[in-house]
Structure 1
Amino acid sequence: MATQIRAEHELHRRRLSRNVGLGVVLLLLVALVFGLTIAKVGTDPSDELGVPGTEATQ
């Protein structure tokens, strides 16, 4: 009785798709944190876009 050797098992395909999905989610999370960090660091609280009532004097 000969058994057929399959190149790729169904479990491997499912695991690959799960890993790709997790990778995409992690990349989006990193991009979100990076974007929020850039937005926070790039904000000058003394300019016209900062906190109301703390306008810069010239």
Structure 2
Amino acid sequence: MALRAEHEIHKRRRSRNVGVGIALAGFVALVFALSVVKINTVGPVEGFDHTPRASALPPQEPAE
């Protein structure tokens, strides 16, 4: 069985696939970077678990 030369359409498909792969990798990197920046900026996030949180309650004055 002889080796066949690569057709031009395969070269075009490969270059298009490489371009789509680079664009996808760039998008993933952008989302990751934005997530890291948001997490570092906001700080720890408290989840919503249907219970009152001390940090969400208004400050109470000390009882006399």
Q: What's the TM-score once normalised by structure 1's chain length?
A: 0.64
Question: Which structure has the greater CA radius of gyration?
Answer: 2
Higher relative contact order (CA 8 A, sep 6+): 1
Q: Percent identity?
A: 56
Q: TM-score normalized by structure 2?
A: 0.58
Kindly report the root-mean-square deviation, in angstroms, between the aligned alpha carbons of the 2 structures: 1.7
Flag structure 2 segments of 5+ consecutive residues without an equivalent: 44-64
Q: How many residues align?
A: 41
Which runs of at least 4 in structure 1 moved beyond 2 Å after TM superposition? Answer: none
Unaligned runs of 5+ in 1: 46-58
| 1:30-51 residue CA offsets vs partner (Å, 9 max, x unmatched) | 0000000000001146xxxxxx
